[in-house]
Amino acid sequence: MYLVAIAWAYVALTMAAAEALSPQGTLLGAFITLLLYGVLPLGLLLYILGTPGRKRRRRAAESLAEGDASGHAAAGPAEGLAAEREEA
């Protein structure tokens, strides 16, 4: 996911640089190019592709909160493992 975002940002940045350095180009045109071809599409793409992760984190937080509210210990990664012995 991030490789595509990095490549798209590189292309948008080079397009903006070409616009700024062109004899007919302007800095305003370069800024608008960077904004409309780079920042806005990348922000939307990363927001949409990050949705499953946000849902997963929200569900984990809700299940942890439900476990705390019921009075039971929350299930952790060490559940089901034998207790460690202390040496005297």
pLDDT tens digits, one per residue of 34-80: 999 999 999 999 999 999 999 999 999 998 888 766 555 555 555 55
* DSSP assignment letter at 54: H
pLDDT band at 87 (very low <50, low <70, confident <90, very high): confident
- 3-class DSSP state of 82: coil
User: Cα(56)–Cα(58) distance, rounded to whole angstroms?
Assistant: 5
Tokens of 25: 């180009």
- Residues with Cβ < 8 Å from 72, sequence gap 6 or more? none
CA distances from 26 to 17, 35, 55, 79 (A): 10, 14, 43, 62
pLDDT score, position 57: 93
The whole-model pTM stands at: 0.63
User: Cα(17)–Cα(30) distance, rounded to whole angstroms?
Assistant: 7
pLDDT score, position 66: 82
